[in-house]
Amino acid sequence: MTSADVSPRARAHPQLVPLWRGLVVYRVVTLVAALVNAARFAGEWARPALGVAVVAVMVAWTAVSSVRYLRRGDAGTAVADLVITALATASTLLVDTPDRVAQGGSVITTVWSAGPVLAMAIALGWRGGLLGAVVTVGVLFGVRRALDGDLLFDAQLLLIAGLAVGLAADTMRRSVEQLRAAAAREAATAERERLARDIHDGVLQVLALVRRRGDELARTSTPHDTAPGLELARLAGEQEVALRRLITSAPPTPGPDGTVDLSSRLAGVLPAHASLAVPAAPVLLPATVVDELAAVVREGAGNAAAHAGADAGLWVLVEDDPAAVTVSLRDDGVGIPDGRLDEAVAEGHLGVAGSMRGRVDALGGTITLQTGPGEGTEWEIVVPRSSARSGRKP
């Protein structure tokens, strides 16, 4: 045997160490039982010298395998354990007299023989435990050659132990993986918050200051509109808003039940000068519904940018009711003349009307438009929560 490898890579599942420790304790205690058994019956054995040799091998293998289980906990040692223990148990046929075996005397390995079943279960999960139990019971049957109550009882115990320990090992492996994933998520969130804090404390403050300083420059110089400060102020202000949205918007990963916050999604879709009014709590909807609503708002905003006029403002309001989510989108531009949208549909340009209405219809929602020349446009999109939950047409 080579000495155990103790490099960090060698132990793939440190969380299983308590199970391995338990196994080693079991192995040592049952070895003592086997020694007592050997001391008591060695006089009645057919080949006492061979019996002593087998017991010596058991002692040596218990020491070697225990060290390997504690340091490495590898499947190779567990399989080797299963084979060596099976051979030791089978040697009962040579060591003991056929009479004693036939009368149901204990095998030379006694309960020590159950060790590899547990080892296989810990190393390879419930399948390993099952395989270990079947092999061990098979060897016991080969030695006894009788399906008596004792054997059936042993078989039951070995199967239960192998499956139970195997399932426990599987669960521990999985839960640690989940824990590790959660820790990674938490670290990412913490880092994000740290960045947000730094940006908030530094860059945002300076941008806001530049914006105000620029305004002041523009106010005191003439002509007002072309003052260099005005452009500077506008750019700084837009960047401040964009950056603030960036650091506060939630990561785009879906929540545990596949829902996403509509508010932070819309923040990413809207131009920096737009105003976004939302409730303090996240507005959670299925990711597909949020995608569609974001697309509708993007189109509405794009339309406003294209037609409302350069100075038009854009406001979006999100309201979250138990029954429905309402998104209102308003610009104060030139508005759409009566019938212009219907004309566009008639001419085959689906554009705004088709695409926005189509998406909202598919969500089982309603979309209304209030507009007129010089009045700006005001869309109101209502998506019922019941159909939003399934994300399908009712």
Partner 1 sequence: MTVRVMVVDDHPIWREGVARDLAEREVDVVATAPDGAAAVRIAKAVRPDVVLMDLQLPELSGAQATERIRTALPDTRVLVLSASTEHGDVIEAVRAGASGYLVKSAGMDELVDAITRTAAGQAVFSPGLAGLVLGEYRRRETEAPDAPQLTPRETEVLRLVAKGLTARAIAARLTLSHRTVENHVQNSLRKLQLTNRVELTRYAIERGLDADG
Binding residues among 15-74 for partner 1 as defined by CB under 8 A: none
Closer residue to partner 1, CB minimum distance, 90 or 243: 243
- Is 325 buried (19+), middle (13-18) or exposed (0-12) by CB count in 10 A? buried
Q: How many Å apart are CA 349 and CA 242, to the nearest integer? A: 33
Closer residue to partner 1, CB minimum distance, 156 or 220: 220
Cα angle 134-137-142, degrees, rounded to a multiple of 5: 120
Q: Which of 43, 223, 256, 322 binds partner 1 (CB under 8 A)?
A: 322
Closer residue to partner 1, CB minimum distance, 145 or 224: 224
Q: Which of 201, 225, 257, 347 binds partner 1 (CB under 8 A)?
A: 201
Q: Which residues contact 318 (CB under 8 A, 6 or more apart)?
A: 262, 263, 266, 276, 277, 278, 279, 283, 325, 326, 327
> Do residues 330 and 276 touch, judged by C-beta distance below 8 A?
no
Q: Which two tokens stand for residue 385?
A: 């929560």
154 belongs to the binding site for partner 1 (CB under 8 A): no
Closer residue to partner 1, CB minimum distance, 211 or 265: 211
CB of 344 to partner 1, least distance (A): 25
155 belongs to the binding site for partner 1 (CB under 8 A): no
Candidates 79-87, 150-158, 274-282, 360-368; binding stretch for partner 1 (CB under 8 A):
274-282
| Tokens 């999960």 -> residue | 125
> In this structure, what DSSP letter does residue 112 have?
G
Closer residue to partner 1, CB minimum distance, 260 or 318: 318
Q: Which of 97, 171, 205, 368 binds partner 1 (CB under 8 A)?
A: 205
Closer residue to partner 1, CB minimum distance, 200 or 340: 200
325 belongs to the binding site for partner 1 (CB under 8 A): no
Q: Which of 162, 237, 333, 365 binds partner 1 (CB under 8 A)?
A: 237
Q: Which of 208, 250, 345, 369 binds partner 1 (CB under 8 A)?
A: 208
Candidates 57-65, 70-78, 204-212, 297-305; binding stretch for partner 1 (CB under 8 A):
204-212
Q: How far is CA 171 from CA 32, 69, 175, in A?
A: 31, 19, 6
Q: Which of 275, 368, 386, 390 binds partner 1 (CB under 8 A)?
A: 275
Closer residue to partner 1, CB minimum distance, 200 or 298: 200
305 belongs to the binding site for partner 1 (CB under 8 A): no
- # residues near partner 1 by CB under 8 A: 40
Spatial CA neighbour of 381 closest among 302, 313, 314, 300: 300
> In this structure, what DSSP letter does residue 315 have?
E
**Residue 260: strand, helix, or coil:** strand
Closer residue to partner 1, CB minimum distance, 139 or 283: 283
Binding residues among 77-106 for partner 1 as defined by CB under 8 A: none
Q: Which of 159, 318, 336, 341 binds partner 1 (CB under 8 A)?
A: 318
Q: Which helix (H) or strand (E) holds 276?
A: strand 275-277
223 prior amide bond cis, ω within 30: yes
**DSSP letters for 125-192:** HHHHHHHHHHHHHHHHHHHH-S--HHHHHHHHHHHHHHHHHHHHHHHHHHHHHHHHHHHHHHHHHHHH
280 belongs to the binding site for partner 1 (CB under 8 A): yes
Strands 275-277, 259-261: pairing kind = unpaired
Closer residue to partner 1, CB minimum distance, 52 or 250: 250
Spatial CA neighbour of 164 closest among 119, 120, 129: 129
245 belongs to the binding site for partner 1 (CB under 8 A): yes
In the complex, the residues that contact partner 1 under the rule CB under 8 A are 200-201, 204-209, 211-213, 215-216, 219, 233, 237, 240-241, 244-245, 248, 275-281, 313, 315, 317-322, 328, 330, 332, 378
